[in-house]
Structure 1
């Protein structure tokens, strides 16, 4: 149990380790037996994205603003699912989580939305993505961490190549990486770029060790700077995230002009 982190609401252990649900004054958080928060939910507004890395993962909406088919690999406390289900009620959303206990905890303690268009599967996302019977997706969000770091299966080239094959024309994949081990993180980026056959778009998360990489292999050219500058404020008004700031961060951290990154 994590002392000093708030009130312990629930604790259990499965075959992969400890799971803890802890409340503080403002949030409810999921921990995997370490000090790192895996997911957080606001008591006052469960739909809002508390952790900055989740907001950064959705910077890809600048380039795919109206996804109709979404795949999320890694449920955690369901932050991305709650947000996307609320703002895109017409989208079909599939979530894959390999720890059954995580799904049960998210349903009991983190207000997961229930809707015919939402499908939560217990299983290995690396197996699902290789299944040709699965649909094509407009947006694939890979946020698959355990207590020790990134799930090894999601950083390998076969998995990422399979993700590419499951993207619709104009679709985009976002991968959450942990940047404390710089050499390993660079290796993950090289694998990502080799699998997609393109340069990645990189977004470090300020004040955290997350690094989000994006790829959109079917796009020959991204929207113009003028177009993105118009899109960002509109998305901010509709979704409540600071997309103009996310856009500025993308420009700051990617040296080539954005419109040529994906050629």
Structure 2
């Protein structure tokens, strides 16, 4: 049985609606309201405004957004751009995602990529406990959600991961356990021959600029970084394929087919990636972290 969520009116001025929390029905609303406002509340929580449902650790850093009428669509632009790896690996068989959040990517891939097996690794059991609030489907033959440390999972995972998606954050930003050179070296080893690592870089820029340089060291500079101005994020793609040389003209045509099949603006993604690659945007961002 899924947990019954405790509901109380949002105490926040901007984030209006109803707050949904993993608390018993006898919890004291006044105490919970005070903890939310002073950011001492220790669990993730949901805000439902009747149109969208949001996942928060605190109101300064939104984790996920879901449209209630179309819960399997990708609302946030950064989640759409994380799927840009499909331009280079259009038929993945195995995807591993570290960081479940509200499950937007998991839901989309499970529904729209029928041939893929997806494993999502989430450290926080309370985030997993909220999966039904975001309509994440139950585990089945193609979907497994694992509670555990993402770095530990990759360390023991079998080789042959086609896409490794990093979308894991703590209350301060990019998860430190996923930011080391050793982790990226292990991830590189576990990817398939033309596998792609994709990282959502958000939060304090000083915390993740060094990450770009470490990934470039491991992936022999075969890295593309694009910005997501709407969300304030950057998306990094790192390619294991030897002598990676994108055929941009072919990719632009392929992007149109992907747009038709999946309903996302892959031509815009391809254009932005080509521009970032030719301007050496990843190298410039890596230098800022030194």
TM-score, scaled to structure 1: 0.90
Q: Residue 251 of structure 2 corresponds to which residue in structure 1?
A: 228
For residue 256 of structure 1, report the CA deviation from its aligned partner.
Answer: 5.4
1:169 correspondence with 2:193: yes
Is the 2:174–2:207 contact (alpha carbons within 8 Å) kept by the matching residues of 1? Answer: no
What secondary structure, in the 3-state scheme, does the structure 1 residue paired with 2:267 have?
helix
CA spacing shift, 1:184–1:33, aligned 2, 3 Å:
closer
Is the 2:43–2:126 contact (alpha carbons within 8 Å) kept by the matching residues of 1? Answer: no
Q: Residue 102 of structure 1 corresponds to which residue in structure 2?
A: 127
Q: Matches of 1:207 and 1:92 in 2, distance apart? A: 30
1:49 correspondence with 2:49: no
Instruction: Tell me which structure has the larger Cα radius of gyration.
Output: 2
Q: Residue 240 of structure 1 is aligned with which of 263, 271, 279?
A: 263
What secondary structure, in the 3-state scheme, does the structure 1 residue paired with 2:234 have?
strand
More deviation, 188-197/232-241: 188-197
Is the 2:65–2:76 contact (alpha carbons within 8 Å) kept by the matching residues of 1? Answer: yes
What secondary structure, in the 3-state scheme, does the structure 1 residue paired with 2:43 have?
strand
Q: Residue 102 of structure 2 corresponds to which residue in structure 1?
A: 77
Q: Matches of 1:172 and 1:135 in 2, distance apart? A: 13
Is the 1:17–1:33 contact (alpha carbons within 8 Å) kept by the matching residues of 2? Answer: no
The total of aligned residue pairs comes to: 254
Q: Residue 7 of structure 1 corresponds to which residue in structure 2?
A: 17
For residue 69 of structure 1, report the CA deviation from its aligned partner.
Answer: 0.4
Is the 1:128–1:134 contact (alpha carbons within 8 Å) kept by the matching residues of 2? Answer: no
Structure 1 unaligned regions, length at least 5: 258-263
Q: Matches of 2:17 and 2:279 in 1, distance apart? A: 47
Q: Residue 158 of structure 1 corresponds to which residue in structure 2?
A: 182
Q: Deviations over 1:161-186 (max 9, x none)?
A: 111111111110101112643x4332
Is the 1:201–1:214 contact (alpha carbons within 8 Å) kept by the matching residues of 2? Answer: yes
For residue 135 of structure 1, report the CA deviation from its aligned partner.
Answer: 4.2
Structure 2 unaligned regions, length at least 5: 1-10, 24-39, 281-290
Q: Matches of 1:41 and 1:219 in 2, distance apart? A: 38
Q: Matches of 1:222 and 1:184 in 2, distance apart? A: 29
Q: Matches of 2:112 and 2:246 in 1, distance apart? A: 23
Is the 1:22–1:28 contact (alpha carbons within 8 Å) kept by the matching residues of 2? Answer: yes
What secondary structure, in the 3-state scheme, does the structure 2 residue paired with 1:96 have?
strand
* Superposed counterparts of 1:4-153, under 5 Å: 4-12=14-22, 17-106=42-131, 108-114=132-138, 115-131=140-156, 133-153=157-177
What secondary structure, in the 3-state scheme, does the structure 2 residue paired with 1:237 have?
helix
For residue 145 of structure 1, report the CA deviation from its aligned partner.
Answer: 0.7
Q: Residue 260 of structure 1 corresponds to which residue in structure 2?
A: none
Q: Matches of 2:274 and 2:250 in 1, distance apart? A: 14
* Superposed counterparts of 1:198-213, under 5 Å: 198-213=221-236
